[in-house]
Amino acid sequence: MSTPTSSDPQVHVIDHPLVQHKLTLMRRKDASTNSFRTLLNELSMLMAYEVTRDMPTQEVEIETPLETMTAKMIDGKKLVLVSILRAGTGILDGMLTVVPGARVGHIGLYRDPKTLQAVEYYFKMPKDTQERDVVVVDPMLATGNSAVAAIDRVKALKPKSIKFVCLLTCPEGIATLRKAHPDVDIYTAAVDRQLNSHGYILPGLGDAGDRIFGTQ
Ligand code: URA
């Protein structure tokens, strides 16, 4: 279940009880690295259901043990999951469990701690991106600068469509991304209150990368 926010139908808050429950467990500061990572994995699988809801299917003929029938299948290869390094890996793994045929791209970006601007250090995408639908993933849509920079790069390859998936966002991040890329729908489990002066989401869950990889 995903609900477009009342003010913006292109921001989809995935308010399924299982998603909300797991997010709450992840937010707690005493969640271990292992449980944080496991929960993110499970949550990403659940979010993948919503994000792939409009994926095209094709009819194929199959044999059941009893008879021949025509049934629907997706072509997972038409989907490219693009992970913004390093925290995007946490969402990527769960989504790949559900759509194992998807292709994968990576964008390495770090946040300059002074300017909070995104600095690129790596970019690798599958071939023929113009024939595929792209889903860019990053757990936190905070300032929005990394998401905008990543989508700028992906858009230059002219994919059929682009969606952005995060775990958490805030009004500032949504505004920045919607302004730069009004054609990109945002999928999130929650819209939190605000950013702090260091670019962290409040109340948030802290540094997603540190919590996934135990580097705090
Ligand atoms: N990145 C994070 O990991 N956490 C935030 O709160 C904001 C950006």
Domains (ranges, CATH) in the chain?
Answer: 2-213 (3.40.50.2020)
Please answer whether residues 104 and 96 qualify as being in contact, where contact means their C-beta atoms are separated by less than 8 angstroms. yes
High-pLDDT (> 70) share of the chain, %: 97
* Cα 93 from Cα 38, distance rounded (Å): 10
Model confidence at 76, pLDDT cuts 50, 70, 90, reads: confident
Distance of CA 157 from the midpoint of ligand 1 (Å)? 27
Answer whether residue 196 shows pLDDT above 90.
yes
Average pLDDT over residues 192-199: 95
Cα dist. 7→11, 166, 199 in Å?
Answer: 9, 19, 24
Amino acid, res. 97:
T
Look at ligand 1, atom 5, and give the residue with the nearest C-alpha.
Answer: 200
pLDDT of residue 94: 95
Give the position of tokens 């290869």: 77
Q: For all residues of the chain together, what is the average pLDDT?
A: 94
Q: Kind and range of the H or E element at 123?
A: strand 118-124
Asked if residue 91 has pLDDT above 90, the reply is yes
Give the per-residue pLDDT at 167. Answer: 97
112 carries an active-site annotation:
no
Q: Which amino acid, one-letter code, is at 29?
A: K
Q: What is the largest CA-CA distance in the chain?
A: 65
Q: How many angstroms does the Cα of residue 139 sit away from the middle of ligand 1?
A: 8
Q: Are 165 and 137 in contact (CB under 8 A)?
A: yes
Residues having CB within 6 Å of any atom of ligand 1: 87, 140, 142, 199-201, 204, 207-209
Query: Given a cut of 90, is residue 181 above it in pLDDT?
Result: yes
Mean pLDDT of all residues in 37-44: 97
Q: What is the pLDDT of residue 48?
A: 95
Confidence of residue 68 (pLDDT cuts 50, 70, 90): very high
- Report which protein residue has its CA nearest ligand 1's atom 3: 207
Q: Which of 2-11, 17-26, 134-143, 200-209 has the lowest mean pLDDT?
A: 2-11
DSSP 16: -
More confident residue, 117 or 68: 68
